[in-house]
Amino acid sequence: MTLADSEIEYIEEILGRQMNELEEGMLDVMFSEHCSYKSSRPFLRAFPTEGENIILGPGDDAGIVSVTDKYALAVGMESHNHPSAIEPYGGAGTGIGGILRDIISMGAMPIALLDSLRFGPMEDEKSRYLFEHVVKGISDYGNRVGVPTVAGEIEFDESFRTNPLVNVMCVGLVEKDKLVRAEAPNIGDVFLLMGGTTGRDGIHGVTFASEELTSDSETEDRPAVQVADPFTKKRVLEASLEILEKINVSGVKDLGGGGLTCCISELVDSSNNGALVDLRAIPLRETGMTPYEIMLSESQERMVFVLNPEDVELAQKICDKHEIVSSVIGEVIDGNNMIISDEGEELANLPTILLADPPSIDRPIAEIPEDTKKYELKEPGVYQSLPKLLSSPNIASKQWVYRQYDHEVQVRTVVKPGDDAAVLRIDDETAIALTTDSNTIHTKLSPFDGAAGCVAEAIRNVISMGATPYAVVDCLNFGNPETPEILWQFKTAIEGMALVAENFDAPVISGNVSFYNETEGIKINPTPAVGVIGVEKIENIRTMDFKNEGDKILLIGKTYDELTGSEYHRTIHNLEVGTAPRIRIDEELANGQTVLKLIDEDQDKNITAVHDVSAGGLAVALSEMVIKSGLGCDVTLTDDELDKIQLLYSESHARYLLTVKPEALDDILAKIDVDVEVIGEVTGTSLNVNGHEFSWEDLNDAYHGVIEKYMA
């Protein structure tokens, strides 16, 4: 049991008695960090959560954002870190299953998956094993249920050697008048449990996720990892959508962390009602299961629908048609207690406020001072560093990963993996741009600017595709919150993220907190994984690849002396020191709005390519445009205040590369009132920077095949 002595005292004071074994287990689950957010809740309030396009912010299984007069998107993001460290294939697969159920619970059809992954160095055999099987778990699950995995990002770093991160984002499409919520507003309605049967897998999954890993976790905690079943999930998805289409359900919620205990208590607590659950009515797949095991099991592919009793027969006929099990397991009752009974015998009776609303914890915080020392670099040759940088697994092509994903199923994908963001068609006029991003070194060195930069970079990615950022989702992955310095990182990171989200009017509408990402004192780099949803007109879509010989190359934004924390530092000099690039919010906002305005007014498609500048700096961004298109460029970078290393590899924010048809250059420049410079033109098949030439073949060979060689 993980309940603290103070929590036990709090519980028993409210109950006026001691807990029995079943009640103790149920409360242990609901007081876990994973379910209760008891350490993070006070800080999460800093996020902006409302906006012009937001229908529903945090608090339900997913956030809802309006994209057209008819349609909305349900968007969520979840982590499955500890399970993936123990059993990477199943852990990643059940992570996909959980986020899919969250989207279905809102009445939405899942249309896209994205992932944000972290592993140890690729030289490490165990890290390669985890990487291989996590990717296979994601691809097998997503491909089998027919939901495309359209974008993502991956980082390899020593800090993730023993604690990989598997964060998954899902987007679903729903007509606005068909939205449903996780609630149980009507006394007398019944709970219909449908989908997979209940077994012993996943018991204590949320408490396992709320503790640090140890060297024994791989054997001791394996039973806490759920078993994935994508084929059942496919039937559950189809049956759920049919029930929602044909029946006016009162509410619906998936069974994820905390199992039936979490699902039922949160359903009724949201409506200030109570619940009576009949233990004998729950379909089991194993014999001899105890009430404790049944109520804490996190077996996958299960959903609970809150229905009028008159609609049960039709709902069960739909389940039968799709060959999935269903059973009425209880009802909504008056009062505010959740009661578990077995043939009339009361086994547990707990106030829902105890289960669904545990108190937060006021933990101590201690600031980590920034490292402001200057670092002398042994220069290996400025221009000669570019091929090595392109061959870093953190920069190099991720084709090995996304070629395993079906990213075209459902035929909505307009821009496929490999660009700044994926683009999906919603209707004949509207598209959405989707991306995930994080920079863990920046956040480690400067939590405020680093985390703010994660949001800013994700926003730049959707802007580069021609889309206006509408909303943000996140997965906040940190170490042990009982460590004051870790909690300070967390608090400060949220403040930075909130600044950018608020200024771009892109509220945080859903998210997840994953603490305790440590193994025997080895801490991960703090990782705020950010997903951004952008909306655009179909004709505004832009991509990063060069299009035409002679097009002029524009750099919007200013480069600063900000090399520390860069991929250049990490790859070339094996350094993770100094401070992160600063967020200059006025520049970030003005430059982003300028790019969007230019694209929106560009009816003649004179702006032919757009690409944001981020990891690796300008040298890498230009190389990617050359590699992707097969066209070269001639570029001159000069600045009286910066040396050549800074100009090439600094990761200063708020920068975009645009290509413009030469005949439209003067007109485009006249519309720009932010920092802008014409730095070159598209020509030939080589990248020529300040007189240093790199052939397309050399760049392409450095960039492609890197991960494939490690995984051969």
Residues that are catalytic: 34, 80
Helix spans in 408-542 (H): 440-445, 447-464, 484-503
* Strand duo 165-175 + 251-254: pairing: unpaired
Residue the block writes with tokens 């027919």: 146
Find out whether 441 and 491 touch, Cβ atoms under 8 Å: no
- Residues whose CB falls within 8 Å of the CB of residue 131, separated by 6 or more in sequence, listed in order: 117, 119, 122, 164, 711
Q: HSE (CB half, 13 Å, CA atoms) of 166?
A: 31
> Residue 417: which of 691, 140, 115 has the closest Cα?
115
Give residue 446's identity as a one-letter amino acid code.
S
Helix spans in 478-524 (H): 484-503
- Residues whose CB falls within 8 Å of the CB of residue 219, separated by 6 or more in sequence, listed in order: none
| CB contact burial 513-542 (16+ within 10 A = b; e otherwise) | bbbbbbbeebbbbbbbbbbbbbbbeeebbb
CB-based burial label for 234 (10 Å; 0-12, 13-18, 19+): middle
CA distance 97 to 113: 11
Q: HSE (CB half, 13 Å, CA atoms) of 512?
A: 31
Share in percent of the chain as helix, strand, coil (round to 5)? 40, 25, 40
Kindly list the distances between the CA atom of residue 661 and the CA atoms of 440, 608, 621, in Å, as whole numbers in the listed order: 37, 7, 20
- Residues whose CB falls within 8 Å of the CB of residue 177, separated by 6 or more in sequence, listed in order: none
CA distance 572 to 576: 11
> Residue 490: which of 503, 471, 509, 477 has the closest Cα?
477
